[in-house]
Amino acid sequence: MKYEMILVRYAEMAIKGKNRKHFEKQLEQNIRRQLKDYADVKIKRTFGRMYIELNEEPLKEVCELLKDIFGISSFSPVVKTELNEAAIAEAALMVTRDSLNEKEGSFKVAVRRINKKFPTGSQEMNQRISKAVLIQMENLSVDLHQPDVELKVEIREEAAYISGGVIRGAGGLPVGTGGRALLLLSGGIDSPVAGYLAMKRGVTLEAIHFHSPPYTNERALQKVEDLTNILTRYGGKIKLHIVPFTESQLAIHQQIPDNCEITVMRRFMLRIAAEMAEQNNQKALITGESLGQVASQTLDSMYTINSVTAMPVLRPLITMDKMEVIEIAEKINTYQTSILPYEDCCTIFLPADPKTKPNEKKVSYYESFMDVDEYVNKAVEGIRTIELTGKREQDIEMENLL
């Protein structure tokens, strides 16, 4: 006797009226993609929920992957049994044990008898199953109102289905239902988290990174590729656009007063990213900024930086404390990579006293001595794009060695 399928629930989506079909389709597609290594898995949609038939594929591994798919509110492994009381009782016991994980707790049994040929009525079955489980488990009690485990038994024509444990899903909306946006990915702790949260609301992501060789090295770029690869776990393949930024940065360093350098650099980044997003038909930029975290993230700074584009800039972390961001970074597995100490383009020419209240007019005046458009266009033209799908070729080679 074992778990043969997984029942998938998606609460928030179910209320989205006419769009529901679209959402469900996308979710099904996302689940398929996430489970592509498990060839025998089959997915079935019924009204308001989905069933994943395991067909001998490993339950635990599949569950782990489901936890990272946005749009799933919760899921439950289901046992299929023959249509007789002993088999159902045995499955009920197993499911209750697994759900409580050897701890004490309470449960309730809810039998639905769809197959009216089954000899025992659902009320009677409720009692019999409860009794059978209670006898076997010392630390178990019945609680009809707030049970730790709600054991669901469905008696159908072909078989009985028993489920109990409810595993929390990632919530949110399926990636692919929330439009397209471009993430400014630096390699630090914040931007991958911002990308993750954007995906949580269904956004399809591409990422843009500013690379300034020889001031930033291969390892820094590698780190960004790694972070992008980690993010693919939550949203499928992601395109990474690598901007050659050295020329712009050197020009800024030469032309702009030290304490405004960061502000101008950010304005350049935003211009380049916005241009790229425009070309890719993306409707927003996403950044990992959090209010007041550093000089360039004060309201004054953001105002001055943001004024170079009309493209919406989404900042999912804007009100979060650093610790809250780190907590998510650890959860989504980007933290360990983010803290690797390689210089990125934001830190190489860092002045001693960056302005926390840069004045937009002054900054524009400084920039008027530069051919901004030319630098921006050249950078955009020089963009190299790679598509990341979770693993690099070299990594697969290394894995084979291990």
| Least Cβ distance, residue 240 to another protein (angstroms) | 18
What is the nearest approach in angstroms of another protein to the Cβ of residue 244?
A: 18
Q: Which is nearer to another protein, 255 or 336 (CB)?
A: 336
Binding annotation: 184-185, 209-210, 266, 288, 297
Backbone angles phi, psi at 243, to 5 degrees: -95, 125
Under rule CB under 8 A, which residues in 372-401 are in contact with another protein? 394-395, 398-399, 401
Count residues binding another protein (CB under 8 A).
11
| 368 interacts with another protein by CB under 8 A | no
Cα separation, 328 vs 111, whole angstroms: 39
Q: Which is nearer to another protein, 124 or 395 (CB)?
A: 395
- Residue 257: how many other CB atoms lie within 10 Å: 12
Q: What is the contact mask toward another protein in residues 325 to 364, using x (rule: CB under 8 A)?
A: -----------x----------------------------
Residue with token string 């001595």: 369
Residue 202, SS3 per DSSP: coil
Task: Bin 131: left if φ > 0, else alpha if -120 < ψ < 50, else beta.
Answer: alpha
Return the number of other C-beta atoms located less than 10 Å from residue 387's C-beta.
Answer: 11
Instruction: State the minimum distance, in angstroms, from the CB of residue 348 to another protein.
Output: 15
Longest dimension (CA), the chain: 89
Query: In terms of CB distance, is 152 or 223 closer to another protein?
Result: 223
Q: CA–CA separation, 158 vs 164, rounded Å?
A: 20
Contact track, another protein, 196-235, x by CB under 8 A = ---------------------xxx--x-------------
333 Cβ contact list (under 8 Å, min separation 6)? 230, 233
The beta-strand segments (E) located in 99-231 are 105-113, 140-142, 149-155, 160-163, 167-168, 180-184, 204-211
CA angle 17-19-25, nearest 5°? 125
Can you give the length of the chain in residues? Answer: 402
Nearer to another protein, 298 or 333 (CB): 333
Provide, rounded to whole angstroms, the least separation between the CB of residue 339 and another protein. Answer: 10
Nearest CA-CA partner of 220 in 334, 340, 384: 340
Query: How far, in Å, CA of 14 to CA of 29, rounded?
Result: 17
Query: Could you tell me the smallest distance in angstroms from the CB atom of residue 156 to another protein?
Result: 36
Minimum CB separation of residue 342 from another protein in Å reads: 10
Question: With respect to another protein, which residue has the nearer C-beta, 378 or 392?
Answer: 392
Residues flagged as binding site for ATP: 184-185, 209-210, 266, 288, 297
Which residues of this protein are in contact with another protein, per CB under 8 A? 217-219, 222, 336, 394-395, 398-399, 401-402
